[in-house]
Amino acid sequence: MTQTLLITGASSGIGAATARAAVKAGWQVALLARSRDALEKLAAELGDAALALPCDITERDQLSEAVAKTVERFDGIDAVYANAGKGSSSPGIEQGDPDDWHAMIHLNVLAVLTTAHATLPHLRKTKGHFVVTGSKAGRDHMKGSVYGATKWFVQGLAGNLAEEMREWGGRCTLITPGMVDTPFFDEPKPDKIQPDDVANAVVFALSQPRSADVREIHIMPSG
């Protein structure tokens, strides 16, 4: 039976690469992001295995509707990849922009929580898998990095969620890449980790037998 993976932040970068890798591995995918044009283009590329669901996941009603449409189309959810996130346009704390922090924390922290909250009832039914994008920045102390602090939250949440999910046979995996060459940055970073590298790690975690609970995959550039 074909399994279903719901991906947030699916329109580009790591999310889009993961959608392609998952479909290649035999999954159906629900694609969530704000960019309607990019999502629909990706869904058309992937064919009947993909469902484009343009939405703003920081809006709980839109997120809940997207989850419901996924279940209606694919008859359930077997895995979730909470990948959506953003950085800060102004580094540091003293010189930082509190309004920018608010938007970033809403997406990087609260939206991860609400994605888990909205999908866990469905994952419980399938003894499913929750995967979330952390960062090397959530494992190190970085001068004045509010972004890094949001990823420290994700680091802790993933471990706590894994303990909650294991009570009913579910699993949670944290993906912690270093710098990835994605639209997250203003300039290309061709010498850094590629989105396909992260996508392959996600599919690897999802492909493990139920006897193996892969809690974290940490990826760094090889050069």
Q: Give residue limits of the domains in the chain.
A: 4-219
* Residue positions annotated with a catalytic role: 147
pLDDT in tens, 89-130: 888 999 999 999 999 999 999 999 999 999 999 999 999 999
pTM attached to this predicted model:
0.94
Q: What is the mean pLDDT of residues 7-16?
A: 97
Rounded alpha-carbon distances, angstroms, from residue 208 to 22, 38, 52, 81, 215: 14, 30, 27, 15, 11
Taking only the tens place, the pLDDT of each residue in 179-218 is: 988 665 556 566 789 999 999 999 999 999 999 999 999 9
By the 8 A CB rule, do 33 and 64 touch? no
pLDDT of residue 188: 59
Distance, CA of 18 to CA of 196 (rounded, Å): 7
Looking at 3.10.129.10, 1.10.1040.10, 3.40.109.10, 3.40.50.720, the CATH number of the domain 4-219 comes to 3.40.50.720
